[in-house]
Structure 1
Amino acid sequence: MLIHLQAAGTSLVLDARGPRPPAILHWGAALGDLADADLAALAGAAVPAVPPSSLDEPLRLSTLPALAEGWTGRPAVRGSWAAGPARPAWRLAGVERPSSGAVVADLRSADGLLQVAGEVSLSPQGVLRMRHTLTNHGTGPFLLDALDVVLPVPARAAEILDFSGVWAYERRPQRAPLRDGAWSRETRHGRPGHDDPFLMMLGVPGFDFRAGEVWAVHLAWSGDKRLWAERQPLGRSVLGAGELLDPGEILLPPGGSYTSPWTVAAWSATGIDGLSERLHGWVRARRGPVPPRPVVLNTWEAVYFDQSMERLRGLVDAAADAGVERFVLDDGWFTGRTDDRRALGDWTVDAARWPHGLHPLVAAVHARGMDFGLWVEPEMVSPDSDLARAHPDWLLGPPGAATWRHQRVLDLSSGAYEHVLEGLTALLREYPIAYLKWDHNRDLLQEGAAHRQTTALYRLLAELRGRFPHVEVESCASGGARVDLGVLDLVDRFWTSDSNDPLERQRIQRWTGVLVPPEHLGSHVGAPAAHVTGRTSDLSLRLATALFGHAGIEWDLTTASGEQRLEVAEWVRCYRRLRPLLHTGTVVRSGGDDPDRLVHGVVAADRGAAVYALVTLRASGAAIPPPVQFAGLDPDRRYTVRPLPLGGPPRTVQDRPPAWLLDGGITLPGRLLAEVGLPAPLLAPQQAVVFEVVAA
């Protein structure tokens, strides 16, 4: 049959007439209502010419491309039997339609030994999901090397954008033309890693945030992965994604099955922001309404390991006075944990620093109207710990394996799983903990372990959430090394980066937010001098940066001046007023990736209000910079634009501000604000100004 899925301006046409595997004839712009005859004509017209010195029949790129059909690029399925490599010729055995937006194709190898169930769905937001389940029907074991999703893209998608990075500098974009061959990104961290390709985009040359067709794929998986883009001289281009399996990692016995992670894909005709609108809408629809994201104070950069009731009492009061709603005790609360070289795995409260347990601190936090959160790192263990000494067999890897941040990995496929589950259960039963900051501070560095460790993590999180559904969980992995849509089904937010430097955070949050909605990205106000970079930033820039996310504070407020604490309290009130808009609206960004300045904002779903920020990264190359354009507004409504003061006025280098700012604001049609814009204040480098826009 020929199947046409259509939603939110996106169409997918699948040729599942058999006997060969289904083929995607179109993925992109909506094609409108098509009659059966139109679909048949499209399928006929999609048959290409046969070039000289090639396969004697037209090349047909299926959902399981393989050598047997003439595809000489990377195949979707690779594996072997004891007798040698398997090169199955796939045939379509049947098609099911579990819903109007979903298709399941039953594919069998010609010898009947392998079966693949290929699932395809198109969400109401226009987000495409695909995965495969492979089952071994043979009499011997099948060694699976790869089971990937391969999606065709048109030849005009000729420029690639993905990401790299290191600790505290995640989500660094990199662009290049797509040439013949494969641009392949693989991660072998046992977690996505700071250099995670994250979201691989392939678009028309020059696509940016606001313009250009672009196709993108993300693997919803928290272990090893590969993403790739490939252009064949045969004339076909593809995007691919799949779990990166080590040799021997998946050995399927007779009757055994393996299901690949979901590949999440989207197409946009309006640049990267169009992708974000689809992906954010899909994430929000899957999760349902999210409770208001409470203002967090985390103790890490405030006190580090210097923990005691005496040390923290003043910080609790300062946090409450500022309007903080959640107080999180970070690393250092458990037995013997005086630095990062010992005691991981011994999840009992340190009696020396907390002789009465954490009860007095929790009581003080609750007395000031805040809920209580706690840092844990359950997947890791210190060699210098009671747990490691008692159970060396629970450590992943051989004795003497490399440490990372002076710690080893607990093998969650061993008895360590029950130990961790019961240890966390005991904590959550003894203390009224509303939130766990779940850290993961090292790579696994162990071949053949990533798959089982990741599946065990998912099982552990699901079990804990079943026992304690009220407890929220943050995914932290030495900052942003585990940010993916797989674990987002089991956690409530991500720690976007270990860097609180607002200048670095501007770009990290800009690009991480392409995939993940802002309400799931932790963004904190740090100390005046950033602890990672040492750079000093004005409070206004720090507040403006942290506003656009799940806001919090990572600063010892007891050291702040009285004026600074009042400004932080006013910022908290502003965030609490604006968070319904910030956490449900449409994210918009200035079109290009300007090295001098950034403009970004969030527009309410009904386009009745918006909040924007203008941020200068460095000195402008022009005496008078371009106007600020307010994207995403209703062109036919009138809006009033006013500056929103946060943390004092930003520094400017100007003899006189623009006239509209002298007047305190201006009212204009949305079309003019978006297309023409308003003159920008001449901000000094590393400054920010926030604008609130309300329909008149």
Structure 2
Amino acid sequence: MDPLHLRSAGTSLVVSFDSGEAEVIHWGADLGSTLPDLAILGEPIPHSAVDANVPAALLPQGSSAWQGRPGLRGQRIADGVPGLDFSLRLRVVDVQTDASSAVGFAAVTSAVIASAVIVQKDPDAGITVTSTLTLHPGGLLELRHTAVNDGTSPFQLDELATVLPVGPDAVELLDLTGRWCRERHPQRRAVQQGTWVRTGRHGRTGHDSSLLFAAGTAGFGNRHGKVWATHLAWSGNHEQFADTVADGRTMIGGSELLGPAEVVLQPGEGYTTPALFAAYSDRGLDGISEAFYSWFRSRPHHVLPAASTGLPAGNPRPVVLNTWEAVYFDHRLDTLIELAESAAELGVERFVLDDGWFRGRRDDHAGLGDWYVDETLWPDGLTPLIEAVNSHGMEFGLWVEPEMVNLDSDVARAHPDWIVGPAVLSHKNGGRLPLEWRHQHIIDLVNPAAWQYVFERIDALLGENNIKYLKWDQNRDLSEHGHAGRASVHAQTLAAYRLFDELRKAHPGVEIESCSSGGARVDLGILERTDRIWGSDCNDALERQTIQRWTGVVVPPELVGGHIGPTTSHTTARTHDLSFRAITALFGHFGMEWDVRQVQGAEREELKRFIGLYKEHRGLIHSGRIVRADVPDDSLMLHGVVSDDGDAGLFAVVSTRTSFAEQPGRLAIPGLDPERSYRVQAIFPAPGDADYARTFTQVQPPAWLPSGAQASGRFLAEVGLPMPVLNPEHALLLSCTAE
């Protein structure tokens, strides 16, 4: 059987079938249109080893002497006897390919293979695994497996992993970790023999989950080095790992982390893994981001489809005002209308009413699950507020938390059996409940009646009110999560996905944001059914610089909510000038979470001007190529976007703390067209802005700063410009315009 060769955007994936398995020979740089006879790659056989070459397969198997993690773990249960068919010998029986026109290769004019379906069977064990691979036009690989029980008795599936081998020069690992209000911070370690596993047992993606799991050459950075990276598109329990065996080969990948007997396949039943998305880059992490961004922006349901798709352009991402840090639970119509009027005067385009509008909700102890407008607060319903918001030309959005319930709620009192727990019995009948988290529990969406109730209540809210946007929250982990006494995170996750899907189908004009105690549900599984994620509950601009930078390694800025919070952050008590908070929020889906009625005088004029800057540049921010410079001084950051045609760029120079050097020196501005000339100007803050004088510590600015600079893209990338001496926790916004 001929090898399979997928090619796109500088990436090749080669799969050989000579061993009888689907062996991944190469995932990495493009190999061109012609491959040699792959028999030349036969490895030597060392002493004290199996007498055959051991393939690095799509599904690594112990039956082929793979000594790392197996791709599939499970056991058949026949006549009450467990542990049968514990070791599979899967062999390829069919390969189907789909050819499409080549994308991204000037030298290739013929059709190339874009996707493939590989079927492997073990007839003795009664298991078939079908692997679907798609190499998307931007170079992003999508891989998933489906296992089917062909036998006559149940088969308990314990794990089905999606993995890929990385190059031998991948010697360093990077993954992300964090906590509430400090999501997605990087950590690095050397590749060593053994397995490095990142486990998520939160029942949701988790604040500490690794949005990206990467291996690369030594010291790989933003714009240099080879990188192989994966992302598991799943919003429940999961594992991501790097597995290095004794012969030096390393596999990276992930799997759903299944609970005890969560997936028991009856004869004829199947299980499909979450998709593993994988990207290769020889240009550092920015190349990885480009592959993910290309995939997002080519989706027909993306909020702003790329021009190359031929789809309607979509509406510009509106300026948002969220009421949470303005009023919290203090919902009074006159106050909220005043807030809406103040927001509209500034240029806000979407007004979002946060937690506190439904029955019994005066604080976070009660009311969740009772998704009816509170008649005591809103005797005329939400209509007066919605009409006031709409009269100022703004859309209206609403906060909901459909997957959660308080014990102090009408629905919990009426249906105690709808509350998730580890026991068969409800808590009213002696069953045990999980520990409370933010005074709340989880509603059992696996229960058809509970699912239907939640669907009908949110459907009614959307049908009865002119709501254009839902902020969909999920404020706790799914601990001890069971249905009818059995582990059920897997089923709950699928039920939640179905809830999103059915509500979107019923209300296609409503956008949905995934919020989960901030950034605890950020993954491509949830982003297939939502229009934006909330990166973190922390609006502190210093914390957000790191959170947004590493969220943005996978998720494009138009899908990442970034808000200006109050002058003093309510999560860290840090105080920041408006310009720093604004520039930080700019490189996302921009908004505010602040009582803007209190913003007056010169600061209000500065805020209004900045909102105008966002509207002027949002088309570029939400469509351009991401650029993150490798800056030697780790107290400084330079990041931005460049338009696909190279006509324009927008960059932020950020000082996160004091530097070891008395002046920053020349900072390279990469990513522009090297052959074109650019006008570089500092556009915010500017003289006259309320906090301009506090932005710098210098007797004299660099020569170019007052009136701008003219230079080629090559000069700016190789020589750069001397930057002003920024005070710590301040930033400067630069525009680059081709002339």
Residue 468 of structure 2 corresponds to residue 434 of structure 1: yes
1:188-235 deviation line (CA, Å, top 9, x unaligned): 111110000111000011001010001001001111111100111122
1:150-194 deviation line (CA, Å, top 9, x unaligned): 211122101000011000000011001011000011101111100
Deviation at 1:58, TM superposition (A): 1.5
Residue 335 of structure 2 corresponds to residue 311 of structure 1: yes
Residue 658 of structure 2 corresponds to residue 619 of structure 1: yes
Residue in 1 that maps onto 2:271: 258
Residue 335 of structure 2 corresponds to residue 298 of structure 1: no
Residue in 2 that maps onto 1:67: 62
Match of 1:629 among 668, 688, 693: 668
Residue in 2 that maps onto 1:656: 700
- Aligned CA distance change for structure 1 residues 421 and 593 (closer, same or farther; 3 Å): farther
Residue in 2 that maps onto 1:407: 440
Deviation at 1:22, TM superposition (A): 1.0
Larger displacement relative to structure 2 (157-166 or 77-86):
77-86
**What secondary structure does 1:49 align onto?**
coil
- The answer to whether the 8 Å contact 2:88/2:125 transfers is no
1:437-459 deviation line (CA, Å, top 9, x unaligned): 00000000025221111100111
Aligned pairs for 1:216-615 (under 5 A) are: 216-286=229-299, 287=302, 288=305, 289-397=313-421, 398=423, 399=427, 400-414=433-447, 415-447=449-481, 448-591=487-630, 595-615=634-654
Q: Which runs of 4+ in 1 moved over 3 A?
A: 592-595
Match of 2:71 among 57, 72, 76: 76
Residue in 1 that maps onto 2:43: 48
Number of residues paired by the alignment? Answer: 689
Residue in 2 that maps onto 1:13: 14
For residue 266 of structure 2, what is the amino acid of its counterpart? P
- The answer to whether the 8 Å contact 1:164/1:194 transfers is yes
For residue 737 of structure 2, what is the amino acid of its counterpart? V
- The answer to whether the 8 Å contact 2:76/2:83 transfers is yes
Residue in 2 that maps onto 1:90: 90
**What secondary structure does 2:130 align onto?**
strand
Larger displacement relative to structure 2 (426-435 or 585-594):
585-594
1:235-268 deviation line (CA, Å, top 9, x unaligned): 2111021111112000110000000010000000
Residue 715 of structure 2 corresponds to residue 672 of structure 1: yes
Separation (CA, whole Å) in 2 of partners of 1:671 and 1:335: 61
Deviation at 1:290, TM superposition (A): 4.1
For residue 280 of structure 2, what is the amino acid of its counterpart? W
Residue in 1 that maps onto 2:109: none
Residue in 2 that maps onto 1:682: 725
For residue 660 of structure 1, what is the amino acid of its counterpart? W
**What secondary structure does 2:129 align onto?**
strand
**What secondary structure does 2:614 align onto?**
helix
Larger displacement relative to structure 2 (288-297 or 352-361):
288-297
Deviation at 1:628, TM superposition (A): 2.1
**What secondary structure does 2:670 align onto?**
coil
For residue 610 of structure 1, what is the amino acid of its counterpart? G
**What secondary structure does 2:43 align onto?**
coil
Residue 124 of structure 2 corresponds to residue 111 of structure 1: yes
- The answer to whether the 8 Å contact 1:22/1:63 transfers is yes
Structure 1: where are the runs of 5+ without partners? Answer: none
1:561-601 deviation line (CA, Å, top 9, x unaligned): 23222211111111111011000001111225854111100
- The answer to whether the 8 Å contact 1:226/1:243 transfers is yes
Match of 1:130 among 118, 138, 143: 143
Aligned pairs for 1:146-185 (under 5 A) are: 146-185=159-198
Residue 32 of structure 2 corresponds to residue 32 of structure 1: yes
1:283-309 deviation line (CA, Å, top 9, x unaligned): 111233442110000000000000011
For residue 178 of structure 1, what is the amino acid of its counterpart? V
Separation (CA, whole Å) in 1 of partners of 2:40 and 2:289: 33
TM-score, L = length of structure 2: 0.92
Separation (CA, whole Å) in 2 of partners of 1:675 and 1:521: 31
**What secondary structure does 2:32 align onto?**
coil
For residue 95 of structure 1, what is the amino acid of its counterpart? V
Residue in 2 that maps onto 1:22: 22
Separation (CA, whole Å) in 2 of partners of 1:152 and 1:46: 15
Deviation at 1:408, TM superposition (A): 0.2
Separation (CA, whole Å) in 2 of partners of 1:129 and 1:585: 23
**What secondary structure does 1:639 align onto?**
strand
- The answer to whether the 8 Å contact 2:631/2:638 transfers is no
Residue in 1 that maps onto 2:309: none
1:298-341 deviation line (CA, Å, top 9, x unaligned): 00000000001111121011100000000000000011100011
**What secondary structure does 2:470 align onto?**
strand
- The answer to whether the 8 Å contact 1:600/1:613 transfers is yes
- Aligned CA distance change for structure 1 residues 49 and 412 (closer, same or farther; 3 Å): same
- The answer to whether the 8 Å contact 1:614/1:628 transfers is no
**What secondary structure does 1:45 align onto?**
helix
Separation (CA, whole Å) in 1 of partners of 2:391 and 2:167: 60
Separation (CA, whole Å) in 2 of partners of 1:530 and 1:324: 21
Deviation at 1:112, TM superposition (A): 5.2
**Identity level (%):** 47
Structure 2: where are the runs of 5+ without partners? Answer: 100-112, 306-312, 428-432, 482-486
For residue 656 of structure 2, what is the amino acid of its counterpart? L
